[in-house]
DNA sequence: GATGAATTGTTACGTTATTTCCTAACGAGA
DNA sequence: TCTCGTTAGGAAATAACGTAACAATTCATC
């Protein structure tokens, strides 16, 4: 597994399919679904969903890509530096799809504290905001 | 649209399909998928996915039901009282599916504050924890 | 070259969600 | 009464999401 934040933007450790998928996700500049990635990469020889999901899951594990659960799509991580176990907060514009990434230690602490109090062992945390971005608000008020 | 917390547990304002779907979700006592609801209700005359999704969406709007985005399933709201614009925090056990519901004003405030700072108009907030519940941890340590 | 691990490819399937088009029922108001 | 808008419901098709199972390939290493 390659280090996502080592050799930006090459990620030379990635396999062929992982590179193709990452490239497609990055180029989209908004969340993109698995089958849209598939369509995009069909001309380059990718034929089946499994290939997409395998690559995407690797990229997510690396932290290079995030899954947007509320819309079942994937987005390139826009963070300059790696997340050290912090929860990624994603705000997705309902209108244009723009994603803004954020972290908040206080939020993390409070969620972890509550989980501990309830004796819950946390495996993953998802925080997502469906929003209208400033741009879209300005365009159509 | 009926008031979800008025006449527990009848929700007499619900339509027939909404009642059927709510009943099925409630009976499941863990998140249940749309098609499982459909299978459950087929004998009672429900034939198509749309009918489930329409009902479920109404119930979500009422606040009677929550969608668990991270597993694409629906769960009965277990809160005694209505949420007043508070974000529902859901913890879902990966092993047994048990859901615990929670609210945290501090978390809400911080998210809203950040959104405001970024000029984002918030439409919805999703906070979900994938966990191992105390029960499951005890059973298989 | 032989061995084994990782990656890739293919088929097939199951699940989740939306779209489209249509009908029925009901109340408001001309 | 007769349109008109609104809401709910129904059916069919299709798109989109996701995984299981197994075969083929590549590649490092012995
Ligand atoms: Zn990130
Ligand atoms: Zn926008
Ligand atoms: Zn609730
Ligand atoms: Zn459990």
Question: Averaged over A92-119, what is the pLDDT?
Answer: 97
Whether the CB of B89 is below 8 Å from some CB of chain A: the reply is yes
Return the ∠ at Cα A125 (arms to A94 and B107), rounded to 5°. Answer: 75
What pTM, to 2 d.p., does this model score? 0.91
Closest Cβ opposite residue A114 in set B102, B124, B133: B102
Phi and psi for B36 in degrees, rounded to 5?
-70, -40
Q: Would A63 be classed as within a structural domain? A: yes
Judge if B30 and B66 occupy the same domain.
Answer: yes
> Residue A37 and residue A57: Cα distance in Å, rounded?
14
Q: Is residue A6 part of a domain?
A: no
- Rounded CA gap, B141 and A73, in Å? 34
**B29 with B67, same domain?**
yes
Residue B132, domain extent: 89-139
- 10-residue mean pLDDT profile of chain B (141 residues): values are 36 84 95 95 93 95 95 94 89 96 97 98 97 93 66
> Is residue B106 a contact partner of residue A110, using CB atoms and an 8 Å limit?
yes
Same domain flag for B98 and B57: no
CATH at B20: 1.10.10.10
The predicted pLDDT at position B45 comes to 92
Residue with tokens 């966990």: B131
- The total domain count for chain B is 2
Q: What is the pLDDT of residue A82?
A: 82
Does one domain contain both A69 and A97?
no
Ranking A4-18, A24-38, B60-74, B79-93 by mean pLDDT, the lowest is: A4-18
Among the partner-chain residues B110, B125, B127, the one whose CB lies closest to the CB of A106 is B110
Residues of A in contact with B134 (CB under 8 A): 118-120
Contact B130 A122 (CB under 8 A): yes
Separation CA B61–CA B89 (nearest Å): 16
Mean pLDDT of A108-119: 98
- Give the pLDDT band (50/70/90) at residue A141: low
Say whether both A69 and A102 belong to one domain: no
Q: How far apart (Å, rounded) are the C-alpha atoms in residues B31 and B33?
A: 7
Q: pLDDT at position B82, please?
A: 80
Q: What is the mean pLDDT of residues A87-110?
A: 97
Measured distance CA(A123)–CA(B111) in Å, rounded:
22
Q: Is B3 on the interface with A (CB under 8 A)?
A: no
CB atoms within 10 A of CB A141: 5
Q: Is B8 on the interface with A (CB under 8 A)?
A: no
The number of C-alpha atoms within 13 Å of A5 and in the hemisphere containing its C-beta is 10
CATH number at residue A135: 3.30.1490.190
């Amino acid at each position: 597994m390659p280090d996502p934040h080592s050799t930006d933007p090459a990620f030379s450790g990635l396999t062929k399919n992982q590179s193709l998928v990452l490239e497609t996700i990055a180029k989209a500049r908004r969340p993109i679904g698995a089958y849209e990635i598939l369509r995009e990469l069909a001309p380059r020889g990718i034929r089946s969903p499994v290939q997409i999901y395998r690559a995407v899951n690797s990229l997510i594990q690396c932290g290079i890509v995030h899954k947007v659960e509320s819309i079942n799509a994937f987005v390139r991580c826009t963070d300059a530096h790696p997340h050290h176990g912090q929860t990624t907060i994603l705000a997705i514009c309902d209108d244009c799809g723009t994603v803004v990434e954020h972290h908040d230690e206080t939020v993390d602490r409070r969620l972890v504290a509550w989980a501990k109090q309830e004796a819950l062992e946390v495996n993953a945390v998802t925080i997502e905001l469906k929003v209208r971005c400033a741009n879209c608000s300005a365009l159509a008020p």
